[in-house]
Amino acid sequence: MIVYRFKVTFEDVEDLERMIEVRANQSFRDFYNCIIENIKFKTDTPASFYMSGDLWRKGKEVSNTEEEGVVQMADAKLNQFVNDPHQRMLLVTHDELEWHIRIQLFKIERANAAFTYPRCSKSVGEPPKQTKVVIGQATNEFEELVDDIISEAEEPDVSDMGLDDDIDTPASGAGDDMDM
């Protein structure tokens, strides 16, 4: 049995890499679940694989969302779509942050009977949080400090700046006839 070894990286996150090995006859759903579990995202995240070329442009779509005319991850086998020894794919999550994950075929080899596939054979770096950080929902002491700083910076207190409320301002159009 043939195994594909894919290098998985984030488009906007440096120092993060996963090597995922998956049998050629496994589904995109199997591959997706392995990737998502290894980057600690929620497994119910809507997402799509896009076949791509050297410039990372989106091509044929394989999705886990129910869209008419789109190939479903559970129905698509990797060997039906991998047709280049350097095959590239984009995995795009369709959640609030829309992560772009780059996937490149790194090696094709024979399966090792000692392993269960798909599997992560190399893991470098910590994955980003899947959701936006919301001010006021701190989970540790550092985030609480950041929340405090941001909330103070957002609404400066101008009540004691010595501004008079009864300052006359020129009427609109005043000074229109001045030469410059």
Sequence ranges of the domains in the chain: 2-124, 129-156
Q: What is the DSSP annotation of 59-82? A: -SEEESS--TTSEEGGG-BGGGT-
Cα–Cα distance between 100 and 48 in angstroms, integer? Answer: 10
CATH entry 3.10.290.30 includes domain 2-124? yes
The per-residue pLDDT for 65 is 87
Pairing of strands 17-23, 88-93: unpaired
Residues of the chain with pLDDT under 50: 133, 135, 180
Residue 19 buriedness (CB in 10 A; 0-12 / 13-18 / 19+): middle
Q: Considering just the CA atoms, what is the radius of gyration of the chain in Å?
A: 26
Residue ranges of alpha helices (H) inside 75-140 are none
The per-residue pLDDT for 88 is 96
The percent helix, strand, coil of the chain (3-state, each to 5) is: 15, 30, 55
Cα–Cα distance between 61 and 149 in angstroms, integer? Answer: 43
